[in-house]
A and B are shown apart, each in its own frame.
Chain A
Amino acid sequence: MERSSKSFNFAAYHTLETIYDWMDTLAADYPHLVSKVQIGFSYEQRPMYALKFSTGSSSRPAIWIDAGIHSREWVTQATAVWTANKIATDYGQDRSLTSILDMLDIYLLVVANPDGYAYTHSNNRMWRKTRSKNPGSVCVGVDPNRNWDAGFGGPGASTNPCSDSYHGPSAQSEVEVKNVVNFIKQTGNFKGFISIHSYSQLLMYPHGYSCNNIPDYQELDAVGKSAAKALGSLYGTSYKVGSICKIIYQASGGSIDWSYNYGIKYSFAFELRDTGRYGFLLPANQIIPTASETWLALLNIMEYVRDHTY
């Protein structure tokens, strides 16, 4: 068992239990900044926890970050763990982050698909979806990033329960998605929504279900390019920036399309490393470099949100 947030090995992949235990130690080590908020239970009744970073009252504007909705993208959850620690340790030390947290709250859902993540450790390392049963099919699970109420059931999502991009029987049928939607609606005042995935190095903004430009296209494109430049300043990692539809493929029912349509203007999705040598099996010694460069982009976006509240 990891006994302190300071002795945790961030350069390793961990099970869900270890990550959840570590979240407790982080909250205990930084009680005036970090708290663990349960946003609901997964299909298999695992708790879903977001870390809340807050220095003030409850009605502050906030930024949402989630990681690991596709469970096999392990460097994503590992990056989120590192990022949570970075936020906790840099507050009061780093002027930029401190000024962000003096104005905004940050919520970080470290493992957005806990059932899938547990399944990647126990049964199938390549599992991507949730673990919900599909009536009438032998195949299990829904792609939780095709299940949001944004162009649901449109192009780039499968009607076949056996497909890895099955959209599910209805929008928000997956409790993991519904929990986030409810939490965002109940908490209110979110100004930024960032989903972190991994594979192929992209920074994307809405939409995925449509290839038409969104009204804030120019602004989000500029913010995305600035963030990608900041990210690349550490190791020269090259990111493509653009709308989901234009730089990867048309995909309906995605999380940031929902958040943008809901009114959260600064909605972005990351695809972290790599370019195609290790696939979803990125060696653990690349966790910290990946997280470190990603942090620069996250900070860049959060600074922008801080300076452009609406």
Chain B
Amino acid sequence: QKRFIGDQVLRIEPGSNEQISVLQSLQEEDDFQLDFWLHPTNPDLPVDVRVPIASLQAVKDFLESNGIRYSVMISDVQEMLEQEQKEMEANRR
């Protein structure tokens, strides 16, 4: 079973079309294995992306070096999955 220990979901708030282009280039980057939940399209919409723990520092550095604002939406995906699993087991009982 795939585990997501330490994976985070970042909410990114692009401030301009230039930043959208920068985020689109990030989207093309296969090595980071990013899972975009909301894609970069226009500066009025946030971008939500699940970042595996292995890429977390690099992605945060990338955003900071490009002056792009972000916040951590989900701080540990696995923790939430475990809560969900417990809830399902309780419901099943």
Contact = CB atoms under 8 A, between A and B. Distances in A.
B11 A164 contact: no
Contacts of A126: 2, 4, 35, 50, 77
A12 B85 CA distance: 11
Interface string A116-143: 0000001111100000000000000000
B: interface residue count bin: 20 to 34
Contact of B80 (A199, A250, A278): A278
A283 interface: yes
A13 B92 CA distance: 9
B1 interface: yes
Among A9, A12, A162, the most chain B Cβ lie within 10 Å of the Cβ of A12
B61 interface: no
Interface in B13-50: 30, 35-39, 41, 45-46, 48, 50
A279 B41 contact: no
Contacts of B80: 278-279, 281
A262 interface: no
Contact of A124 (B2, B41, B45, B50): B2
Contacts of A238: none
Contacts of B38: 199-200, 248, 276
Contacts of A248: 38-39, 41, 45
A30 interface: no
B50 A279 contact: yes
B81 A162 contact: no
A276 B46 contact: yes
Given A126-B4, A248-B41, A276 B11 contact: yes
A95 interface: no
Contacts of B64: none
Given A248-B41, A276-B73, A12 B91 contact: yes
A199 B39 CA distance: 12
Contacts, number: 68
B74 interface: yes
Nearest to A74: B84
Given A200-B38, A281-B80, A122 B74 contact: no
A200 B36 CA distance: 13
A249 B36 CA distance: 12
Given A123-B2, A126-B35, A279 B74 contact: yes
A13 B30 contact: no
B9 interface: yes
Contacts of B91: 9, 11-13, 284
Nearest to A280: B37
A276 B41 contact: no
Contacts of B81: 125, 281
A277 interface: yes
A162 B88 contact: no
A79 to B, nearest CB: 16
Interface string B56-93: 00000000000000000110010011011001100110
9 contacts: A12-B88, A122-B1, A164-B36, A248-B39, A248-B41, A249-B41, A276-B11, A276-B73, A283-B87
Interface of A: 9, 11-13, 122-126, 160, 162, 164, 199-200, 248-250, 276-281, 283-284
6 cross-chain pairs, A with B, having the tightest CB-CB distances, nearest first: A12-B91, A124-B2, A249-B41, A281-B80, A249-B39, A276-B73
Given A279-B77, A281-B80, 7 more contacts: A12-B88, A125-B4, A162-B30, A276-B11, A280-B37, A281-B77, A284-B87
